[in-house]
Structure 1
């Protein structure tokens, strides 16, 4: 997956079924999207660290109209923005799976699943409401 830019390690981790995010080696601040330089301290080095796929719903939306590339989700589908407390509150997008009504603050657990888009398998985050 070379040539994807600063977020290459993110996509490589997802391809392995894992989640990894960058943390500034100088000040320790989590950063997303993946930068080339830390916006807080100016540091140039980042440690990519494994992050637990547990968080809480920050916001959500239900999409009723299918559009190209979302056929694998069914209709309607719910897209979540999930805050990850283990990673300084960074928020990542993903699709809600299973039972459970989305609501802000509800805890969720994630996993990686692939969706076919234009004949290519793309890894992405899927979230389920935690019991």
Structure 2
């Protein structure tokens, strides 16, 4: 993934179906988006950790109208913001799979998925409500 910055490792892992997030080596704070320097302690070193794609819905929105790049999703589609308790509450965005009505606080599990859009492979997280 040429040309990516501090978040390059995130995108590479997601392309392989894994989730990796940076944790400050000095203070232990989970950081997202990935920085070059910790905003809490000023540390420059980060340990990238594999994190389980499991969390709770923090927020969500349903999109009824397609816009450029989303045509392949169908309409409507639901985008989630999910808080990851095993990564200090870091929140990540992704799409909700299935016809389930989302609810704030619902537990979801995710998987890395790659979509081919406009000649490019775009990694994303697809969330499913846990039963």
Deviates more, 1:57-66 or 1:99-108: 99-108
Superposition map of 1:1-131 within 5 A: 1-131=1-131
In the TM superposition, what is the alpha-carbon distance from 1:99 to its structure 2 partner? 3.3
- The CA deviation string for residues 72-124 of structure 1, in whole angstroms up to 9 with x for no partner, is 21100000000000000000000000132101100000001112221211110
Distance 2:29 2:47 in 1: 10
Structure 1 vs Structure 2 CA RMSD? 0.8
Q: TM-score, structure 2 length as denominator? A: 0.97
Distance 1:81 1:64 in 2: 18
Q: Which runs of 4+ in 1 moved over 4 A?
A: none
Structure 2: gaps (5+ residues): none
Do the aligned partners of 1:9 and 1:20 also contact (CA within 8 Å) in 2? yes
Structure 1: gaps (5+ residues): none
